[in-house]
A and B are shown apart, each in its own frame.
Chain A
Amino acid sequence: MTYPRLVWKNLLRHPLRTVFTTLSIALSIFLVCAVLTLPGALDAIIERSASNLRITVHHKAGLSYWLPYAYVHKLRSVPGVTAVNHYSWFGGVYDEPKNMFPNFAMDPETVGQVWAEYGFDPVALERFRKIRNAALVGEQTMRKFHFRIGQQVTLRSSVYPVDLTFQIVGVIPRPDSPLFWFNRQYLEEAMERYGGMRMVGWVWLRVARPEDAERVMRTVVDLFRNSEAEVAAETEKSFFASFFSSMQGILRVVLIVGFLVVGAVVLIAANTAAMGVRERVPEIAVLKSLGFQRRPILLTLMAESALVALLGGLLGAAAAYGILGALAAAGKTGAMPFLGPLASFRMSPGVAAQGVSIALAVGLVAGIVPAWNGARLNVVEALRRLF
């Protein structure tokens, strides 16, 4: 017979009630975890795929303003730049516009250097360089459309007046990459009869060390100042982050909802705690009469509330982790088009920890007022109530 045992036994007093409260908290923490995953998922994507060693150079006015292709050559000779590649949006549709994945015309020669850390299969890179209509496809798109290496894929461009057929020669080895890369030359040749292609969407630069980035970016901006197309340069991280910044509004609403969920949890937990204390007034009176002081009684009562909340939190976080993980594995999450480039909602252990902490905090907060009242019970009043 110890304090912890007393706490445990008290929870078993009304098993149904304890179960209901635990489940209700679990459910709410499940939701909270799902909600918390969203901003985290965005950050995680940036962390996972964005590098400090890659810089984007785009037109200062916006991504819909393209740069003269000649810039690519000029950028090669900027000191500190180890490799250069570029993107031009093809806007190709495979089956339905709804299912469009991002596809870009780019340079097959320097893929291995500019995206060195991705770990491309050298054979795939070789074929990408050699075969005119080769394509490298990100794992997410491969999964979604059940593409196989060697498969022929036709994309109908919504930007250029051409449809092109490609041969998939390899994957971009990132599980949440939806990208589709092909050789710009192939597109240039197709566009010859329409007057050719002189522009490029934006340019990628690779630097040797993160410290070089700052200097290189400044050099690049200066290089094209006062020219026909002024540029802006930023690291890949900053570039991705700005895409997601347009989601701030939604995030805010979702977070408000999350806040409401937590509020509901607190209320439910507090109610249960208060009920428990109210019913146990006679027992608390007995304990006090036996000589238990306020503090142990307070701590015991709060421990009950905290324990239930903690159990609920662990259950909810575990469920969220499991379910979201399963969904991510099945490639189902992130299938909502309004999220654009977001690939998968993978819940991090960090979010699980946050969820459990919230649950614990809820248990303590919800328990404190009834516990306080219970501990400060006037023994005589309480005893009198028995008769």
Chain B
Amino acid sequence: MIEVRDVSRFYRRGVDVVHALEHVSLHIPGGRFMALMGPSGSGKSTLLNLLAGLDRPDTGEVVVAGQALSVLDEDGLAAWRARHVGLVFQFYNLIPVLSAVENVELPLLLTGLPRAERRRRAEIALAAVGLATRQRHRPQQLSGGEQQRVAIARAVVTDPDLLVADEPTGDLDARSAVEILTLLRELNRAFAKTVVMVTHDPRAERFVDAVVHLDKGVLVNGTGGAP
């Protein structure tokens, strides 16, 4: 369901030009739980950003569920993300001034749903990640693992096709990390959501369907990633 065709992306850092991605092509079937791995600076986050419509490639095409992202302008991409992508980050996921349920409700502001309905869905999503009792807590009052679960609840509350996670376990202790990975796999299995995750965590290999390795902006060896 995700097609990455001959995509390159580079940045200028002062006088240097950094080639974050070079001619990467990839196909990710729908419903797959895929991990992008590689050393730091390998371009995995860059690739993730492209899949999620957060960034544009300099060359090549990204097509997600039939939608070519290049034809969308910035507002168009934002609207597309709101409906089709759920995002989980490593840090600073949640808005500190909002409670857990308010954080989860946030993406729903972009739909046209009435207030009561928005609240209902947020509560359901929180219950799905096992945090029904911690709804009103602020992020500061939650542990790292709990915060990440709230973030995941937020990511799925709009029922997106694609779930994207950038180092979701990077800041967590071992037990929480496993909980999060388990949760992601459950979402993938139970709801057939395509999940693409960038990670350093070697434990992740156990949970995912496929792993793609990147090094210096180039795919190194893919398992199960070939079209």
Contact = CB atoms under 8 A, between A and B. Distances in A.
7 contacts: A1-B105, A1-B118, A283-B92, A289-B81, A289-B87, A290-B107, A386-B90
Interface residues of A, number: 26
Nearest to A10: B97
B97 A379 contact: no
Interface in A273-319: 282-283, 286-294
Contact of B97 (A13, A289, A384, A387): A13
Interface in B69-119: 74-75, 78-83, 85, 87, 89-98, 101-102, 105-110, 115, 118-119
Contact of A292 (B90, B91, B92, B110): B110
Contact of B98 (A3, A9, A289, A290): A9
B38 to A, nearest CB: 14
Contacts, number: 87
A291 B49 contact: no
Contacts of B55: 379-380
A174 B87 CA distance: 72
B164 to A, nearest CB: 9
Contacts of B36: none
A287 B107 CA distance: 8
A286 B92 contact: yes
A160 to B, nearest CB: 76
Contact of B49 (A282, A290, A383, A386): A383
Given A282-B92, A283-B95, A386-B89, A294 B81 contact: no
A1 B119 contact: yes
A384 B91 CA distance: 11
Contacts of B52: 289
B45 to A, nearest CB: 8
Given A1-B109, A283-B95, A294-B74, A387 B54 contact: no
Interface string B28-56: 00000000000000000100010010110
Contacts of B75: 293-294
A291 B102 contact: no
A288 to B, nearest CB: 7
Given A289-B87, A386-B92, A2 B74 contact: no
Contacts of B110: 290-292
Interface of A: 1-3, 5-6, 9-10, 12-13, 282-283, 286-294, 379-380, 383-384, 386-387
Contacts of B118: 1
A13 B52 CA distance: 30
B90 A387 contact: yes
B162 to A, nearest CB: 13
B156 to A, nearest CB: 12
Interface of B is mostly: helix
A286 B97 CA distance: 14
A287 B94 CA distance: 10
Interface of B: 45, 49, 52, 54-55, 74-75, 78-83, 85, 87, 89-98, 101-102, 105-110, 115, 118-119, 122, 154, 166
A1 B101 CA distance: 9
Nearest to A384: B45
Given A2-B109, A383-B49, A291 B98 contact: no
A288 B52 CA distance: 12
B118 to A, nearest CB: 7
A290 B81 contact: yes
B115 A2 contact: yes
A6 to B, nearest CB: 7
Nearest to B74: A294
B78 A292 contact: yes
B214 to A, nearest CB: 16
A383 B89 contact: yes
Contacts of A5: 102
Given A1-B106, A283-B95, A289-B87, A383 B54 contact: yes
Nearest to A14: B97
A6 B83 CA distance: 21
B78 A3 contact: no
Contacts of A3: 109
B78 A293 contact: yes
B89 A12 contact: no
A9 B79 CA distance: 25
Contacts of A282: 91-92
Contact of A379 (B54, B102, B154): B54
A2 B105 CA distance: 9
A194 to B, nearest CB: 84
Contact of B93 (A1, A286, A291, A294): A286
Given A5-B102, A13-B97, A289-B52, 10 more contacts: A1-B98, A2-B109, A3-B109, A288-B78, A290-B110, A291-B85, A293-B75, A293-B78, A294-B78, A386-B92
